[in-house]
């Protein structure tokens, strides 16, 4: 199935990718309707005010609308009793540091981050089989020899519908979660997990709320168990919040990069939302990375400095950022779900309770460093307890 799928996507991307240009400087607003306003009614309301729909966002009862700047109609619309909010289609960015080093691994190398979170001992029991992970990112290199067997489906939500990774970030994230356990390159935290890659970020690592929401909707349709979000945004968005709540309600484990803003009280959205596992980054020395965002919303720490993983065009690179930390947690969550069926909230609590305290303030490290082996031991303990009727 994969080769045919790949050929189709390659053709699709080649035929459309060439026309992938930056969105024209039009003004867009997201109009959020009150609960219970259906799609048809919302279309009628917008038509009444003469407002053109660019994209419908059924997951969040909202529409992305094209509006002329300083349009009086949008002011009138905001006073309509069926409207909950009107906001900008904010821009989000991937959370990677601007330096990267190309590497050519000899044979297969286990990256230090995978070792640090004790994923290896768990592979004796499972490698993430049967768990679906959605990656909302810049796309994934679908023909990468260290990833392709795990890529189940790919999708694009940008205007050009390109699905290929023209940045490299999404491929790097995918490798940390699920690079294949073979004799080349690297190996991911959960090397048998199923990847659902959705491109919502362009080659510069920029995306918009409307695209992210569409990508999350696709993940929900594909019934993914975990979603990795290695991006962040400073603005509070009602639209993104609604999308996050919708996926949480559907029992999806949501993992996001805390952000690379450094300093205090600097956790970005969506990591800042309580439904999401906010991941801070540490180095090999187990100290918080200088760039890692901190604040009371940080849940957990994972490796995020000089992380070796797959890169676009079949390559490998060392990259740093909370973007690199989050996929360690997504992979860890996938391993746990592969071993034992659990609710999304239980996965979060289990990862936090098993985390190793690194001795830094909670705002910096959250519960501490991810420890997959310990989390699995807790599951086995509960199972044994049940078997013995305790
Ligand atoms: Ca490999």
Give 181 Cα–ligand 1 centroid separation in angstroms: 5
CATH assignment of the domain containing 230:
3.40.50.200
Same domain, 153 and 57: no
Confidence category of residue 1, pLDDT binned at 50, 70, 90: very low
Give the residue among 319, 324, 280 at the shortest CA–CA distance from 299.
280
Give 121 Cα–ligand 1 centroid separation in angstroms: 17
Q: How many beta carbons lie within 10 A of that of residue 387, not counting itself?
A: 8
Give 187 Cα–ligand 1 centroid separation in angstroms: 5
Same domain, 79 and 58: yes
Residues known to be catalytic: 137, 169, 323
Assigned domain for 210 exists: yes
Same domain, 209 and 318: yes
Give 41 Cα–ligand 1 centroid separation in angstroms: 51
Q: For 311-347, how does the pLDDT look when each residue is reduced to its tens digit (9 = 90+)?
A: 999 999 999 999 999 999 999 999 999 999 999 999 9
Q: How many beta carbons lie within 10 A of that of residue 115, not counting itself?
A: 12
CATH assignment of the domain containing 64:
3.30.70.80
Question: In this predicted structure, which of 35-49, 166-180, 218-232 has the lowest mean pLDDT?
Answer: 35-49
Give 349 Cα–ligand 1 centroid separation in angstroms: 30
Confidence category of residue 202, pLDDT binned at 50, 70, 90: very high
CB-proximal residues (5 Å) to ion ligand 1: 108, 146, 180, 182, 185, 187
Number of residues assigned to the chain: 390
- CA torsion sign for 72, 76, 78, 82 is negative
pTM beyond 0.85: the answer is yes
Same domain, 301 and 215: yes
Q: Domain of 53?
A: 28-89
What pLDDT is stored for residue 389 in this prediction? 67
């Amino acid at each position: 199935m994969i080769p045919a799928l790949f050929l189709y996507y390659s053709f699709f991307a080649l035929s459309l990718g060439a026309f992938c240009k930056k969105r024209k400087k039009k003004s867009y607003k997201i109009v959020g309707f009150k609960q219970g306003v259906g799609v048809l009614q919302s279309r009628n309301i917008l038509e009444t005010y003469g407002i053109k729909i660019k994209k419908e966002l059924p997951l969040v009862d909202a529409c992305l609308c094209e509006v002329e700047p300083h349009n009086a109609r949008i002011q009138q619309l905001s006073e309509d009793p069926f409207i909950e909010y009107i906001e900008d289609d904010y821009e989000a960015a991937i959370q990677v540091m601007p330096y990267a080093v190309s590497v050519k691994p000899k044979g297969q190398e286990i990256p230090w981050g995978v070792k640090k979170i004790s994923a290896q001992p768990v592979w004796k029991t499972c490698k993430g089989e049967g768990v679906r992970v959605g990656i909302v990112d810049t796309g994934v290199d679908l023909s990468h020899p260290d990833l392709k067997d795990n890529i189940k489906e790919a999708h694009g939500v940008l205007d050009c519908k390109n699905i290929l990774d023209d940045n490299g970030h999404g491929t790097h994230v995918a490798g940390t979660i699920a690079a294949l356990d073979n004799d080349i390159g690297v190996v991911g935290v959960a090397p048998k997990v199923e990847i659902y890659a959705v491109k919502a970020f362009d080659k510069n690592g920029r995306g918009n709320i409307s695209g992210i929401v569409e990508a999350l909707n696709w993940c929900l349709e594909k019934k993914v168990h975990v979603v990795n979000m290695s991006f962040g945004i400073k603005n509070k968005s009602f639209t993104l919040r609604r999308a996050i709540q919708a996926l949480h309600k559907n029992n999806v484990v949501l993992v996001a990069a805390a952000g690379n803003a450094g300093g205090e009280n600097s956790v970005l959205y969506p990591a800042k939302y309580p439904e999401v596992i906010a991941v801070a980054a540490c180095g090999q020395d187990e100290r918080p990375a200088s760039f890692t965002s901190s604040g009371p919303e940080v849940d957990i720490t994972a490796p995020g400095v000089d992380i070796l993983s797959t890169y676009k065009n079949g390559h490998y690179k060392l990259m740093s950022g909370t973007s690199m930390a989050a996929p360690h947690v997504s992979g860890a969550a996938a391993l746990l779900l592969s071993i034992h069926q659990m609710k999304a909230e239980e996965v979060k609590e289990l990862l936090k309770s098993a985390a190793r305290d690194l001795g830094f303030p909670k705002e910096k490290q959250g519960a501490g460093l991810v420890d997959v082996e310990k989390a699995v031991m807790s599951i086995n303990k509960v199972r044994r307890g049940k078997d013995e009727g305790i």
